[in-house]
Homo-oligomer: A and B are copies of this chain.
């Protein structure tokens, strides 16, 4: 069973366990600081497929297979999978997962999908709705570029505030038992829109959602930032993470050295041409399912707040002059169950 803590937060009486996880990343990500933490780096970013959309499906398929293997289970023991991606109608996911035969609950949370899916998996396991549940998402630089921006061949210039979509995927398998890490609490975010209209500045659009959810979590639980070894956002990157610090400061909450962003962890902005940093569903997912969960297993991190943020716009809504609504979902992960 779970209990509600305050207005927005869910606390699991018996925290569900991450039984296994995997992250696969592309060539550029494999040249970054987390190269050694990924389960696999794919030098050929086509993944052997003829279109970028199929490449993304293959990426997601490979990642789930790896996570299942590491959890030492077969697909037919997974009761439900929560998954989604950024492509129109989430085809990275539906084609990537169709051969597994696992009951499928599709999500659209944009870049918040890793937190959303892992929270869902935890709720279903906690409640007995699933003995084992899985969570996965992905993004691919080339499929995202041509859908959201321009065909690669066009060679469009990027604004300094723009982010670089990560080619990567992360998958986590959740069960009642296992050595952990464990999912202790979850806070689902509200749609937040402060009126940002610049689609080349997603970090700024998403930071208010992260601030809203973080504030709710701290208010609900009474916890303070120094209770965590790591507070990590999904893909706010340089502009958005600085803005988050400012927004939280205004609320009286100081985010210190323990605050990081997956979009800044995955690339070396000094050496890699990624402008403000990484983005995409696969950014938070591949960093969580490598560096962060690895760090929790090897003792580097004991208590982690993982907040993945999603921008809920589309090229159509931007073209119609709309601002960019965002959402952020938070998970409190613990290395130990109690």
Q: Write the residues of chain A forming the contact surface with B, with a CB cutoff of 8 angstroms.
A: 1-4, 8, 10, 50-51, 53-54, 79-80, 84, 86-91, 94-95, 97-98, 100-110, 116, 120, 123-124, 126-131, 187-193, 310, 312-317, 320, 322, 325, 327, 329
Q: List the B side residues contacting A124 at CB < 8 Å.
A: 123
Q: A90-B108, A101-B190 are in contact. Are A129 and B10 (CB under 8 A)?
A: yes
Once bound together, how far apart are the Cα atoms of A104 and B329, in whole Å?
Answer: 9
A68 to chain B, nearest CB (A): 16
The answer to whether A98 touches B191, judged by C-beta atoms less than 8 angstroms apart, is yes
Once bound together, how far apart are the Cα atoms of A327 and B100, in whole Å?
Answer: 13
Choice from B8, B88, B106, B312 contacting A116 with Cβ under 8 Å: B106
Please indicate which of the listed interface residues A51, A108, A109 has the most CB atoms of chain B within 10 Å of its own CB. Answer: A108
Q: List the B side residues contacting A107 at CB < 8 Å.
A: 105-108
The answer to whether A94 touches B315, judged by C-beta atoms less than 8 angstroms apart, is no
Q: A98-B325, A116-B106 are in contact. Are A129 and B4 (CB under 8 A)?
A: yes
The answer to whether A102 touches B190, judged by C-beta atoms less than 8 angstroms apart, is yes
Helix, strand, loop or mixed for chain A's interface?
A: mixed
Q: List the B side residues contacting A120 at CB < 8 Å.
A: 105, 120
The answer to whether A51 touches B128, judged by C-beta atoms less than 8 angstroms apart, is no
Q: List the B side residues contacting A325 at CB < 8 Å.
A: 94-95, 98
Q: A188-B104, A190-B102 are in contact. Are A3 and B312 (CB under 8 A)?
A: no
A138 to chain B, nearest CB (A): 14
A83 to chain B, nearest CB (A): 9
Q: List the B side residues contacting A310 at CB < 8 Å.
A: 106
Q: A103-B190, A106-B116 are in contact. Are A316 and B127 (CB under 8 A)?
A: no
The answer to whether B188 touches A80, judged by C-beta atoms less than 8 angstroms apart, is yes
Q: A104-B188, A116-B105, A327-B106 are in contact. Are A91 and B313 (CB under 8 A)?
A: yes
**Inter-chain pairs besides A91-B317, A103-B188, A120-B120, 8 sampled, C-beta below 8 Å:** A1-B128, A50-B320, A53-B320, A88-B89, A94-B325, A102-B190, A106-B108, A123-B127
CB<8 Å pairs between A and B, sample of 19 = A2-B128, A89-B313, A90-B312, A91-B314, A91-B317, A94-B327, A98-B312, A100-B191, A102-B190, A103-B188, A104-B188, A104-B190, A105-B120, A106-B116, A106-B327, A107-B107, A107-B108, A108-B108, A127-B127
Instruction: Select from chain B the residue with minimum beta-carbon distance to A191.
Output: B98
Once bound together, how far apart are the Cα atoms of A116 and B109, in whole Å?
Answer: 15
A186 to chain B, nearest CB (A): 8
Instruction: Select from chain B the residue with minimum beta-carbon distance to A86.
Output: B89
Q: List the B side residues contacting A97 at CB < 8 Å.
A: 191
Once bound together, how far apart are the Cα atoms of A98 and B1, in whole Å?
Answer: 30
Q: A1-B1, A4-B129 are in contact. Are A317 and B108 (CB under 8 A)?
A: no
List the 9 shortest-distance A-B pairs measured between CB atoms, nearest first: A94-B312, A89-B314, A127-B127, A103-B188, A108-B108, A98-B191, A88-B88, A106-B108, A98-B325
Q: A2-B129, A3-B128, A98-B325 are in contact. Are A189 and B314 (CB under 8 A)?
A: no
The answer to whether A316 touches B106, judged by C-beta atoms less than 8 angstroms apart, is no
Once bound together, how far apart are the Cα atoms of A191 and B94, in whole Å?
Answer: 7
Once bound together, how far apart are the Cα atoms of A250 and B86, in whole Å?
Answer: 38
Choice from B88, B90, B108 contacting A315 with Cβ under 8 Å: B88
